[in-house]
Amino acid sequence: MRLAFSAETVAFCLAHQLLEGSFMRAALRLLGTGLFVSVVVGACGGESDAGIDDQGVPIDDLPELYAGAVCKSVQSCFGALYSVFSGGEDCEKNYATALGDELPRLKQAIEQKKVVYDGTQVKACLAAIEKVGCNLSGEPAECTAAVDGTVEIGGDCELDAECKGSDTLCQVGAACPGKCAKKGLAGAACKRNSDCAAGLSCSETTEKCFQPAAEGAACEGGGAAPECAMGLFCLGSDDKAQKPGSCKNLTDGFSGKSGDACWFQGNPGCATDLRCIVEKVDTTTGQIDAKCGAPFGAGAACKIAIPDGCPTDQYCKVPANAFAGTCTPRPKAGEPCAKLFDDDLCGADTRCESGTCKPRQKLGGQCSTDDVCFSENCVNGGCAPSGGCK
């Protein structure tokens, strides 16, 4: 059978690849890098040191307090931009749920004297976390003083926390127990950023630890250069042409004003109260022209934009081979997933699994993908802990 594509179809496909491939992946990396991984989503707030006195913090209070500190840190790194991509989810709720799920294992390790917990050090730990921001220099010393393992390098372990020191983890092979080891240096195999030594990240493409690119350095370009460090954004990268971009801080990377050309041809994104709206596609060359403009109202006519220009609980639903549509409610739990190019879309606190939006699952919940688990780790059809033995 022979397939034929019109010039218009080819141009639309190229434009969709640029929008989905370049921007969406970059946005996901931007919001899921470093200490916080992808369980941290949503707006932040609260007082992480509320109710803390000199007697220390009971360990049962740790998940909620720690979540508050982490969310403040993320917000300080990304500022107003973070809420643009949060999807209406609650950062503290999500992260506290993930940590609370892991708490029974931590308490068991403390009883077995594989972990030492000092509640009097928690307040200093939380204050240090809030100051981390975009810095990937590793776990603050104040937090190691609050929670640290007793198992030396090479010793048996079931949790990362059981391994002594801030630069260690529990490496697990085919079966438990694992062995305490140093975190990976550049080039070491990894699955998540926490597998890598301080200052390094884990590449989604190669699954190797690498040194992220600094501000002003070359980035991405289909593997021609490394990804940017946390809090930076790669502007001008062309994966298909293997042309690297340049790492920009968030102020420079999202500086476009109303009416400015944006995103494509090396232009920056728009200020956080605007969206980069696709205005025209050259069906011969595939060149995309876009300008910064105001977001769209609920249920209103819309155009494809970066990021999506509809209200948080809606998305711009467009017909095939088109860039204009209508702001439409995102599907809820139990409803079929929506599609935006190749991306599956669901409402807040749900994830697309096997074509249906599903509520996020705690440990032991059924899953077929990592995304549906608060732990971001689906093993053999069930949500499993994020570190150590499963």
pLDDT one-digit tens code per residue, 104-122 = 999 999 999 999 999 999 9
Say which residue the tokens 């139990």 belong to.
334
Query: What is d(CA 372, CA 388) in angstroms, rounded to the nearest whole number?
Result: 20
| Rounded Cα distance, 333 and 356, in Å | 8
Contact of 246 with 238, CB cutoff 8 Å: no
Q: Phi and psi for 193 in degrees, rounded to 5?
A: -60, -35
Classify the phi-psi angles of 286: left when phi > 0, otherwise alpha if psi is within -120 to 50, otherwise beta.
left
Looking at residue 283, its amino acid is: T
- Nearest Cα to 114, choosing from 147, 142, 66? 147
**Of 127, 157, 158, which Cα lies nearest the Cα of 143?**
127
Q: What is the pLDDT of residue 23?
A: 37
Q: Which amino acid is at 161?
A: A
In 260-342, the DSSP E strands lie at 269-270, 275-281, 288-293, 301-303, 305-306, 314-317, 324-329, 338-340
Measured CA to CA in angstroms, residue 143 lies from 21, 166, 244, 309 at distances of 37, 9, 37, 40
One-letter identity of residue 322: A
Q: How far apart are CA 56 and CA 58, in angstroms?
A: 7
* Residue with tokens 């010793």, as numbered in its chain: 155
The answer, yes or no, to whether the previous bond of 336 is cis (omega within 30 of 0) is no
pLDDT in tens, 175-207: 889 999 999 999 999 888 888 998 898 888 889
Torsion of CA 381, 383, 384, 387, to 10 degrees: 120
Exposed, middle or buried: residue 285 (CB in 10 Å: 0-12, 13-18, 19+)?
Answer: exposed
**Residues in the chain, total:** 390
| CB-count burial class (<10 Å; 0-12, 13-18, 19+) for 381 | exposed
Q: Where in the chain are the domains?
A: 1-30+255-329, 151-208
Distance CA 178, CA 389 (A): 7
> Can you name the residues that pair with 292 across neighbouring β-strands?
276
Token code pair at residue 208 = 């190797």
pTM for the whole structure: 0.77
pLDDT (tens digit, 0 to 9) for every residue of the chain, 390 residues total? 223 333 333 333 333 333 433 333 333 333 333 333 333 323 333 344 444 555 689 999 999 999 999 888 888 888 888 887 778 888 889 889 999 999 999 999 999 999 999 999 999 999 998 888 777 677 888 999 999 999 999 999 999 999 999 899 998 877 889 999 999 999 999 888 888 998 898 888 889 999 999 999 999 887 788 989 888 888 888 877 888 989 998 888 899 999 999 988 888 999 999 999 999 888 787 788 999 999 999 999 999 998 899 999 999 999 887 889 999 999 999 999 998 877 889 999 999 999 999 999 999 999 999 989 998 889 889 998 887 776
Handedness of CA 149, 154, 155, 157 (dihedral sign): positive
Half-sphere exposure in the Cβ direction for 299 (13 Å, CA): 0
Report phi then psi at 20, rounded to 5: -75, -45
